[in-house]
Amino acid sequence: MRRYFIFDTGVTLKNPEYSKHDIEFKQYFWSLGRYNKVREGDKFIYRKPSKVSFNKQFYFFGSGTVGRIKKIGLDDYGKDNVICDIVDPIKFTELLFQKDETLLNYKWKWKTRNEEKGWGQFFNNYGMNEIPKEDYDFLLNIGSNFKTEPDHEEENKELIKSHINFIYQNHEVEDRYSKVKTRGYEQKVFSEYIRIIYDNRCCVTGLSTRSLLQGCHISSYGKDKKNRGNLKNGLCMSLIIHKCFDEGLITIDQDYKIVLSPKIIDPELLNYLSRFKGVKINLPVMKEYYPDKKLLLKHMSEVFKV
């Protein structure tokens, strides 16, 4: 009988020899001494716990099927450590965060959530939770946003490749070629993580409607291959602000404050942007992802219209 689970990922393991085996969308690691319910053919949803999330919120971001399980040694108590291959992985196109109303209002079949405690003690601290099929279907249907187009499978494969490249390789992203435009998927994954880093808020306006937000590069994707995947080369911006930034109509100074170009000729646009002049941007939740000041200076000198 098939079972359904939530698998946590991204938590650093104490033994680095084992952490290398936990590769999102490829394979998953656990100890049978601590959890021994999973079997080949079971389905799961990926969860990124808040302690390893860029915005300190947990979120659900993908799914898969448990493939071949094999032993890779013993844990500190003499129990088997194992890894499984991930079969039929799906990269969610809609991430589901712990503060989302859809998730907060959902009545779990698995257990009752105490609203006063929030999410405290809701998930197993070990990071593997068995859930009923109804809860699995709820998360899958929201996150996967299934399409009917014939190239959906190819698009999903490219999103997964881009995700793996982004997480497990350095900042430099090489051009790739496929049946679909891979550059768009590399940028989509980058944009997704930039939005998370900025807690899904435009760094200039504070707008939080996700469909109107994009993760943009400070130093352009096309010209700066070294920094294509560099999270310090990203800003979360609403559509019009992103366009103004790319056109050099606004820039950000070394104090993270907005500077307006004197070349703005549209009075309505100038009126709109003037409210942000000299205002400090909303910075990422985590300081280590603050925008690189050298890249901001490069934008000011090479893109900004003076």
pLDDT tens digits in sequence order for the chain, 306 residues long: 899 999 999 876 555 666 678 899 999 999 998 899 999 999 999 999 999 999 999 999 999 999 999 999 887 788 899 999 999 999 999 999 999 999 999 999 999 998 888 898 899 888 999 999 999 999 999 998 755 556 788 889 999 998 988 887 665 555 554 444 445 788 899 999 999 999 999 999 999 999 999 999 999 988 888 898 899 999 999 999 999 999 999 999 999 999 999 999 999 999 999 999 999 999 999 999 999 999 999 999 999 999
In a domain, 91, yes or no: yes
Residue at a domain's end among 146, 171, 196:
146
Number of domains in the chain: 2
Residue with tokens 């079972």: 3
Say yes or no: 127 and 187 in one domain: no
Task: Determine the structural domain holding residue 36 and report its residue range.
Answer: 4-146
Say yes or no: 127 and 257 in one domain: no
Q: Closest Cα partner for 216 from 230, 225, 207?
A: 230
Residue at a domain's end among 146, 173, 208:
146
In a domain, 93, yes or no: yes
pLDDT for 219 equals: 96
Full-model pTM: 0.90
In a domain, 152, yes or no: no
Token digits of residue 239? 């559509």
In a domain, 238, yes or no: yes
pLDDT for 14 equals: 56
Say yes or no: 142 and 199 in one domain: no
In a domain, 153, yes or no: no
In a domain, 128, yes or no: yes
